[in-house]
Structure 1
Amino acid sequence: MKKWLALLLLPFVLFFSSNAANAADDITGHYFEQDMRELIDLGYLKGTIKDGQTFYEPDRNVTRAEFAAFLVRILEAQNLEVINPKSFSDVKEGAWYYRVVQQAAEMNIVNGNPDGTFKPDAPISREAMSAMMNSAFEYKGIKLPETELKFKDTSSISSWAVLSVKRMVAAGIVKGNDDNTFRPAENATRGVTSAFLVRMINELKTPPPPPPAPNFHLATVTADATTKVKEYETYDAAKAAATQSNHVVLKDNKVVYMKSGVVAPAQIHPLASVLYKTSGFGDHYFSLVAGTETEFLDAGETWVKVKFNNTIGYFKMNEATLHPTVKVKGASYYKAEGGKLTHYTYNVNTDTYGAFWFGSSGSMPDGKYSSKDGHSFSGNGNTYNMYQYFNVMPLYTKTSYTAEQLNDFVKNNKPDFAANNTILENLGQAFKNVEAKYNVNAMYLLSHAIHESGWGTSPLAIDKKNLFGIKAYDGSAYESGDTYKSYEACIEVLVKEYLLDPTSSYFIQGWKANGEVVGDKELGMNVRYAADPYWGQKIAGYMYRIDKYLKGNERNKYGISVTLTDGVNVRNDASASASKLYSIPLEGTPVLVLNKVTSKTNEGTWLQIVPKNLNGANYEKTFVYSHGGPYGTLMRDLPLAK
């Protein structure tokens, strides 16, 4: 058995460096001394020797990348071939952790964050470590038992980690503290990690019982009950038997097929699910936050085919929750009232609603409306098509509002919970300074900060001057979030490094770049920036509120047109022979229209548009061909809510 254990632990030689010493060291008397010495005695946990003393650093935090490496080695997966490498923006080839992070992701042990990052150097929390270990056991086909959690702070464990913590506690791998707390967000040290790993290895030594035969049931559903009808050995057999509208297929009491209904990303870590382009889970479109409604189209044993707005894609079955139509109790909707359009969003998993002010109700009479995309509405027997200006307004244009006006809005509109917080009401000049330097709209920057920081009340905003949650991730957001010397420095980092970086950013190029608008899941920052499909609407709503309070000088200031094809050329005059300045890469990209110009050379109608003057560009005049000439129709005017 010791020989077997030695082979299992052999990879640790590669991770812990230098030799152990018999002399006094820094773990004598430490709470995790016994756990660490178990690894030391086997020769796998080593320290560094300095001035004759060995240092094992039991209290140094372990990073997410380091723990991923631990698990890859414990699972003997160092040679695992990565079929579908993940595009983590901060995990670059050449980094020591690149391969192990990709291998851990291949085994579904780690997930990225909604913003496309992994945060390899961020410290890992106890609850995040529990979730990764649970995923490692699941990869080995081991489903650990669960237990009721009785810690004093059980309620503070993130919903995505509760199941994992229940299993780790039941197996004795993770334990609470002496004061009967779990401290889920607390960083895990080398001492804690050693204890977890020793217990995990011991659990892995015991061969798991053979998995039970697949347990598929055909069942009928009503609003109040689900009744099993017949058991089948295979998923396909059960699915074939589901011929009636009230039939579903269950696996371990989870709905895995239905005739119609709503599918939502499950309420599990990381509270967002990836929507893939195929059932093989290769390339993906974007992520959606848990509870988001999508239309069910079909399902297989490992996948669910859905439609979200105009996008058809696939969720992994274990990351989705299927809700048969008869059991769905609500739905998202829009409400027009007194000229205001409010979006009521429904979380189908939790049967709860949220609400936010999106913009103007335009020509729609007061009432309740449905819309899949936020611009095509139906209700009261009528249909309406209108876009909210700030949702589709390119952000490379300066606001006319002054720093004092932006401050005044915050002072007089912040909610009661922010009544004593003065951070944002004094940053108007900082937003305007960044706007002047980079040509990114200051009203947008303020709105983004309001949304991400809770009107400046978040601990990150107060303690770390981090207004946008930069480098914060679930489970350890406060600890991993970046710290800035000033609020203006934070604003500048958002713009310079995330919006305008010439190699990969939301406005310039790369996988993040989907248009210079806040947008939605079809186009704009929202595609990749946030898993919340209504992130762009919420920021547009704040911009609308600012503009409305400041007398409405900005909304509908320009007309907006969108490209009807990829690669529309932008020229310095209204002629196909004029010099090309740049091109607009994506179909559907909005531009701000200054004038419509009839070509002097019988080339139809051209649009003079606001130049995309970013990263030092200084175009005086810019034009795109629209329609009416030999080049077809390349642009379409958007109907804007009045």
Structure 2
Amino acid sequence: MKKKGLLIFTSLFILISIFASDKFLANDGAGEDTSADEAQNFEVGEELDEDHMFTTMDAEGNIIEYDMSELEEETAAENSAQMRSRTIATYADVSVGVVNFKTKSSSSLNTTYTEDGTNRSGYVNGYYAADAAFLGYNSDRSKVKFMQAGVIGWVNASEVQVLDYTNTNQVKSVNFYRSEGGTIIHYGTNNISSSSYWLQTNVGPRQSYMQDNVVYYSYDGHYFYTTYSKMISDYKAGTRANSINPNNPYYNYYQYLSHRTKTNFTAANFNSFLLTKTNSSSKMNNLGSSFIQYQNSYGVNASLTFGIAANESAWGQSSIAKNKNNLFGHAAYDSDPSGSANGYSSAAYSIYYHTKVFISEGYLDTKDYSGRYYGSHLGDKASGINVKYASDPYWGEKAAAISWQMSKTYGAGDAGKYTIAIKSKGTNLNVRKEASSSSTALYQTGTSGDYPFIILGTVTGESINGNNVWYKIQSDTTLNANRTALTQDKGDYDYNNYYGYIHSSYVTIVNTGSGGSTGTVKGDVNGDGKVTSADYLFVKAYIMGTKSLTSDQQKAADVNGDGKVTSADYLKIKAYIMGTISGF
């Protein structure tokens, strides 16, 4: 936080007071355009559709519509004055800088970039998040290197401004994180020249390495810094050594939770929570059962879907939601029998269409026709659905904040339920049918970093570099009945049969699930880290009734996965030790 930003509480109070006193609480906003066709338009810098309205969120999950006209006028005046004084010589020597993305006269205009190292195209809108970390120029200074919402990219220098962070006349606010009362709150700015913050999101519980009421800087949400300059120095050097958590990156549970999971929240929880944010006139009212129904049919977590709907439709009160039964900002569709463009016959139908067509058949299809697959999680601009769904770089974090609010209200064992592992950038990992590198590759992950897997269990398989531990993971994509290949345009999802295997060396577990142990290695009954004759003797003794096994030992002993420990398991472990089978 800048020295002149110490008035944040006062500024924030003034900002929210202005909202409350004017028309900003009308909740007529809608979310980002998300159709398959329009996703491609974003990449070439097309405008947002005419129904697009900007909303922001506070720390309690309240969604506020924002009138952009006044901000656009302010932006034009500010940028005009700054651009008049801007020269290459002045900005070439900026060592600790901020990239200002809010430079365009209209909030409907996105800014495109290419990701560093991959040349993957992306887009953001500076009116959602103005600031990014400045990492340098290319050789002729026609491109600016930046980091924002996890992505490191290159943007045309003519479309942004590079500002000196140390100049408090130019930079009065940048985004930051702070632990308040045991909860991490992310403050975001859409106006660098103002000391107010328009965005607050609940990112989850305070981490052990954090202190309450201390400002932390981060442009990836994983590594946190006590000073802006330390962060920039690390980013430029390609390290995170000076962060407060260099060996323990943070992953927002709901933001990195796969859609291919099930929530513990009930339909009644969704219905009652909605009424704490809005009233019964909401188009989301009494639709809890629809969120659960389509989760179970199409493999799309109801809590994550609920969060997207709340964010996109301003809790079901946006004009698109009211007039077109569209809870998700879907643009220009004629697929509904009603024949209404950008509309559905009911709000429940929009939930069906979102879960089946947009998510299960679209964003979670590794061979999606529109190239929208970057992982099955909400994510940010580095990975996940947020890469292509929204011009708001913190869209995924906002949707995740709704799940955090529900977890805080109802508990229900939902937060932290699943074990999540993360792979790093650059590895295009094969998800195999079995725990062997020669087994059929069901699909590939792509090279995106911060890519999560849901770990269902641990098995022994082919040894790679002396390590025979493989993870059974939930498949992102739909598979055929024999689990030999992916299927397309089939939204129906079988949680029990759609799984694959990855070698443990490629990923790091970042959350150990509370819903049951996944740390047991199949066959390693005595827990010594390897499968030996001692293990099948354990099983034999259990079968003979001379030894009891703990719950985890029974899971390890049940190598054929039939839910019980029998002589079949004993014989299979013995065969593995003798080398007649390669894995379980």
Q: TM bucket by the smaller chain?
A: 0.5 to 0.7
Aligned equivalents of 1:329 and 1:641: distance in 2?
41
The 1:498–1:426 alpha-carbon spacing in structure 2 relative to 1, beyond 3 Å, is same
CA contact (8 A) 1:573 1:622 kept: no
Show CA shifts across 1:531-573 (max 9, x none): 2111111111111111232214121112111234544233344
Counterpart residue number, 1:214: none
Q: Show structure 1 runs of 4+ deviating over 6 A.
A: 161-164, 225-228, 504-507
Counterpart residue number, 1:574: 435
CA contact (8 A) 2:173 2:193 kept: no
The root-mean-square deviation of aligned C-alpha atoms, in Å, is: 4.2
What secondary structure does 2:417 align onto? coil
The 1:620–1:547 alpha-carbon spacing in structure 2 relative to 1, beyond 3 Å, is same
The 1:285–1:460 alpha-carbon spacing in structure 2 relative to 1, beyond 3 Å, is closer
CA contact (8 A) 1:470 1:481 kept: no
The equivalences for 1:594-613 within 5 A come to: 594-599=456-461, 604-612=468-476
The 1:600–1:349 alpha-carbon spacing in structure 2 relative to 1, beyond 3 Å, is closer
Which amino acid is 2:371 matched to?
A: W
Counterpart residue number, 2:330: 470
Q: 1:511 Cα deviation (Å)?
A: 2.4
How many residue pairs get aligned? The number is 411
Counterpart residue number, 1:90: 37
What secondary structure does 1:391 align onto? coil
CA contact (8 A) 2:137 2:145 kept: yes
Larger displacement relative to structure 2 (616-625 or 432-441): 616-625
Counterpart residue number, 2:392: 532
Larger displacement relative to structure 2 (325-334 or 612-621): 612-621
Which amino acid is 2:212 matched to?
A: D
CA contact (8 A) 1:341 1:358 kept: yes
Structure 2 residue ranges without an equivalent (≥5): 1-33, 53-66, 228-242, 334-339, 479-489, 515-584
The equivalences for 1:184-583 within 5 A come to: 239=88, 242=89, 247-248=90-91, 260-265=96-101, 266-269=103-106, 270-276=108-114, 284-290=121-127, 291-296=129-134, 297-298=136-137, 302-308=142-148, 311-325=151-165, 326=167, 327-351=170-194, 352-353=196-197, 354-363=199-208, 364-368=210-214, 369-379=216-226, 382-383=244-245, 385-411=249-275, 413-414=276-277, 418-419=278-279, 421-471=281-331, 482-501=342-361, 509=368, 510-564=370-424, 566-583=427-444
Higher relative CO (CA 8 A, sep ≥ 6), structure 1 or 2?
2
Aligned equivalents of 1:316 and 1:386: distance in 2?
31
Aligned equivalents of 1:429 and 1:613: distance in 2?
24
Larger displacement relative to structure 2 (329-338 or 317-326): 317-326
What secondary structure does 1:555 align onto? coil
Counterpart residue number, 1:620: 497
Which amino acid is 1:275 matched to?
A: Y
Aligned equivalents of 1:156 and 1:293: distance in 2?
17
Q: 1:508 Cα deviation (Å)?
A: 5.0
Q: 1:420 Cα deviation (Å)?
A: 5.5
Aligned equivalents of 2:83 and 2:299: distance in 1?
57
What secondary structure does 1:443 align onto? helix
Which amino acid is 2:457 matched to?
A: N
CA contact (8 A) 1:395 1:516 kept: yes
What secondary structure does 2:416 align onto? coil
Larger displacement relative to structure 2 (571-580 or 532-541): 571-580
The 1:543–1:382 alpha-carbon spacing in structure 2 relative to 1, beyond 3 Å, is same
Structure 1 residue ranges without an equivalent (≥5): 1-86, 94-100, 125-154, 167-220, 229-234, 250-256, 474-479, 628-632
Q: 1:407 Cα deviation (Å)?
A: 1.1
The 1:623–1:156 alpha-carbon spacing in structure 2 relative to 1, beyond 3 Å, is closer
Report sequence identity in percent.
25
Show CA shifts across 1:115-171 (max 9, x none): xxxx6xx899xxxxxxxxxxxxxxxxxxxxxxxxxxxxxx9858659999x9xxxxx
The 1:273–1:226 alpha-carbon spacing in structure 2 relative to 1, beyond 3 Å, is closer
CA contact (8 A) 2:178 2:213 kept: yes
Which amino acid is 1:90 matched to?
A: D
The 1:582–1:285 alpha-carbon spacing in structure 2 relative to 1, beyond 3 Å, is same
Mark the structure with the bigger radius of gyration.
Answer: 1
Aligned equivalents of 2:263 and 2:286: distance in 1?
18
Query: TM-score, with normalisation over the residues of structure 2?
Result: 0.61
Show CA shifts across 1:285-325 (max 9, x none): 33343342122313757543433366443323442233222
Aligned equivalents of 2:511 and 2:445: distance in 1?
21
Which amino acid is 2:131 matched to?
A: E
Show CA shifts across 1:388-433 (max 9, x none): 111101101222322122212222x31xxx2453432311011122
Aligned equivalents of 2:68 and 2:393: distance in 1?
26
The 1:457–1:338 alpha-carbon spacing in structure 2 relative to 1, beyond 3 Å, is same
The 1:423–1:288 alpha-carbon spacing in structure 2 relative to 1, beyond 3 Å, is closer
Aligned equivalents of 1:348 and 1:261: distance in 2?
16
Aligned equivalents of 1:365 and 1:163: distance in 2?
35
CA contact (8 A) 1:292 1:347 kept: yes
CA contact (8 A) 2:374 2:448 kept: no
